[in-house]
A = this chain, B = another copy of it.
Amino acid sequence: MALDNSPSTATGYIQPDIDVRALAAVLDGEYAGIRDLVRSNLGTHASVLDEADELGVDAFRERVREIVVEMAATGQTGMGFPAEYGGGGDVGASIAAFETLAFGDLSVLVKTGVQFGLFGGAILHLGTERHHETCLPRLITGELMGCFAMTETGHGSNVQALGTVARYDPARQEFVVTTPDDRARKDYIGNAARHAELAVVFAQLEVDGRSEGVHAFLVPIRVDGEPAPGVRIEDDGRKMGLNGVDNGRIWFDGVRIPREALLNRFADVSPEGVYESSIENPNRRFFTMLGTLVQGRVSVGGAGVGVAKVALAVATKYGARRRQFEATSGAEEQVLLDYGLHQRRLLPLVARTYALHFAQDVVRSHLHDVFSGIEDDAQARRRLESRAAGLKALATWHATRVVQECREACGGAGYLAVNRFAALKSDSDVFTTFEGDNHVLLQLVAKGLLTDHASEFEDLDQLGTVRYLTNLAVETVIERTSAHKLLERVRDLLPGGDEWDQEAGLRDSEYQLAMVRFREEHMLAGLARRIKRGIDQKRDPGAVFSQVQDHVIALARAHVERLVTEAFVDKVRAMPEGDEKVALALLCDLFALSTIEADRAWFMEHGRLTVQRSKAISREVNDLCRKVRPVAVDLVDAWGIPPEMLRAPDLVG
C-alpha cells in the first residue's frame, strides 16, 4: 500500500516520466561511442571482479596486466596519443574512456592510468620526436611497460624538493642518476615492482656543478625481467587495495643514461654540457612541465565520479526493493527508499553525483581544447589546472563519502566481498591523496584565486607565493571582490532588489547561483584581508598562512562548488523541454539547495540567510527528495553501468 509521503499534489505538480535511454544519451554526450566500447570491454573481462578476490597478489597482478594489454588492442586506452603513433588522436575521448573504465575493477583502471596516462603522457608531453618514435608505438600496445617515478619516500606533495640527482658527465655525454639517501628513494611507484622496463624518472638536474631543478629522464630499470645494473627495486607489498597494481620502490646507484634520455621538450643539455631552456625562470619551467600532466588529475576526478555512480546504483536499487519494519498496521514491511531518512541519505548524493558529472564534462572539454590546440594560452592552462585540481579534490572526497554511506545503507549484506563495496572502498581510498593530496590541491586552487591567476604566479615556488601575497595581489583581490559590486550584479537578475536573498524563489537557479557566488567572493575578500592584516603587522608570512589555512580550504571548496553549480545549471538550461529536463531540474535544485543547506551556518553568519529561510531550505530539500524518489532508479540506470559491474546479485537482483 502506498504511504502518504508523496510530494504534495496540491500545487499541480506532475511527476516526470524519464526515458532512461534518452537521459543516458544526454550523459554520454559526444563520447557515447568510446564509452560503449569500454562498457563492452568491461563486460568481456567481468570475471576480473571475482579474480580480484580469488587470486593471490602475484597472479592477480599478471591478470590485470593481461587485461590492460587486451583492452589496449581494442584502441580503448590509446585515444589520447597522436594517430601517427597508433593512437586515437582524441584527448577528450581518452578521458571519457577512463571515466567509464572506473565502473569496473579499479586495479585495471589504475594500471591503465599508470601506463598510458602517467608514463605515456610524460613521454608525450615532456619528450620530443626522438622519444615519441622509439617509445609511443610500443607503449600504446602495452608491449613496452613503464612507470612514472616522481614521488619519493620523503617527498610526495613538495615535488620541487625531490632528492634524486641526475648529474651530466660531458666526458661521456651521459647523465648519472643517483639516489643520495633512503628518503630520496622513489616510492609507491605503480608498475615498478614487476612490469616496468622503462621509467620516467624525475630528478634534480646538475650541469657543470649547478642545479637546474627537477627534470624528467628515461631510465631503463629492468632488462629481461631483472633490475638493470645499478637499479635496486623493492616491492611496496600489499596495500589497502589496488593489489593488481605492482607498486614499488626504486634506488639508483650511479646509473648512466645517454644525453638523449632527457625528456627535452622544455629544456636540454648540449653535448658539451650547456644547459638551455625556452623558459627562463626555473619555477615557471617546473610548473610548465608539471602542468602538461594535468590530465592525470582530470582522469582521477572523473574516476571518482564513476566510483560514486557504482556505489549509488547498488544502494539505490537495494533501497528500492529491500523492506524492513511495518510502517502502517497490517501492511507489508516498508521499502527502505520510502523512508524519509533513507531518501535523505542517498538522494542528495545522487544529485551531487550528477552535478559532478556535468562539471567533469566542462573540465574534460577544457582539457581537450587546450591539448588539441583549440584554445591554448597560459591563462587557459592556469584555469584548467585550477579547475582540474579542485574538481579532483571534491570528486574523490565525494566518492569516499558515497561509498561509505552506500555500504552502510546496505547493512551487513554490503559488507560481503561478493558485493562491490569492499573493493570500491579499499581501492578508491587512495584517490583522495594520489595525483596530489586533496588538501594540497585545494590550497593551490585558493592561491590561484588570491593571486588572481596572475602570470607572475608561474614564476613562484610555494614560499614565493606567500611572499607575493604581501604585495600587489591581495590589494587587487580586495578591490575586485567587494561585496558591493557583486550585489549590484545580483540585483539586476533577481526580484526583490536589496532583499533578493529574502524574496527570490528557493528553486530559482539565479538565486542559488547568487548564493554560491556571494559565498566565494566574500570568502576570497575576507581571506585576502586577513592575510594583508597579518603582513601589515610584520608577522611571518608562513605563520600567517598557516593560521588561515582552514579559510583557504573553505574558499577553494566554495570556488569549486560554484563552478559545479554553474555547470549543472547550464546543462539543464541547454536541454530541450521534456520530462528529462524536468527531472534534471529537480535534481539540480536538490544539489544546489542541499549544498547551501550544508553550509547554512556560513550564510547565516554572513547575513545572507535568515533563520526562517534556512529552515525553509531544509524543508525544500526534504520535499525535493520525495519528488526525486519515484525516478531514483531511472536516474542511476541512466549512468549505463554494465549490470555485471554491479555484481551484488542479492542486493540489486
Contact = CB atoms under 8 A, between A and B. Distances in A.
Interface of A: 3-5, 53, 151, 153, 155-158, 161, 187-188, 236-241, 324-329, 331, 333-334, 338-341, 344, 400, 404, 407-408, 411-418, 421-422, 425-426, 429-430, 432-434, 437-439, 462-463, 467, 539-543, 545-550, 552-553, 600-601, 604-607, 611, 614-615, 622, 650
Nearest to A434: B412
26 contacts: A3-B543, A4-B540, A4-B543, A5-B547, A151-B412, A153-B650, A156-B324, A156-B412, A188-B415, A188-B416, A239-B415, A239-B416, A240-B415, A240-B425, A327-B542, A327-B545, A329-B467, A334-B546, A340-B546, A341-B546, A341-B550, A344-B550, A404-B429, A415-B429, A415-B433, A422-B426
Contacts of A607: 611
Looking at chain A's contact residues, is the secondary structure mostly helix, strand, loop, or mixed?
Answer: helix
Contacts of A237: 53, 416-418
- Closest A-B pairs by Cβ, 8 of them: A327-B542, A240-B422, A238-B417, A341-B549, A601-B601, A328-B542, A4-B543, A340-B549
A3 B540 contact: yes
Contact of A622 (B328, B434, B462, B547): B547
Contacts of A547: 5, 340, 622
B5 A546 contact: yes
Contacts of A151: 412
Given A187-B412, A329-B463, A433-B412, A341 B439 contact: yes
A553 B539 CA distance: 46
Contacts of A241: 415, 422
Given A237-B417, A463-B329, A188 B412 contact: yes
A582 to B, nearest CB: 24
A179 to B, nearest CB: 16
Contact of A433 (B411, B432, B553): B411
The complex is assembled from copies of this chain, and their number is: 2
Contacts of A434: 412
A344 B550 CA distance: 8
Contacts of A425: 240, 425-426, 429
A433 to B, nearest CB: 5
Contacts of A615: 605
Contacts of A344: 549-550
A326 B463 contact: yes
A326 B541 CA distance: 12
A5 B543 CA distance: 6
A88 to B, nearest CB: 31
Contacts of A3: 540, 542-543, 546
Given A328-B541, A341-B552, 4 more contacts: A5-B546, A156-B412, A237-B416, A325-B462
Contacts of A329: 463, 467
Contacts of A404: 400, 404, 429
Nearest to A546: B340
Contacts of A238: 53, 416-418, 422
Contacts of A340: 546-550
A552 B438 CA distance: 34
Contact of A333 (B161, B408, B539): B161
B325 A421 contact: no
Choose among A53, A329, A650 the residue with the greatest number of B CB atoms under 10 Å from its CB. Answer: A329
A416 to B, nearest CB: 6
Given A158-B333, A240-B417, A553-B341, A611 B622 contact: no
Contacts of A552: 341
A122 B341 CA distance: 32
Nearest to A611: B605
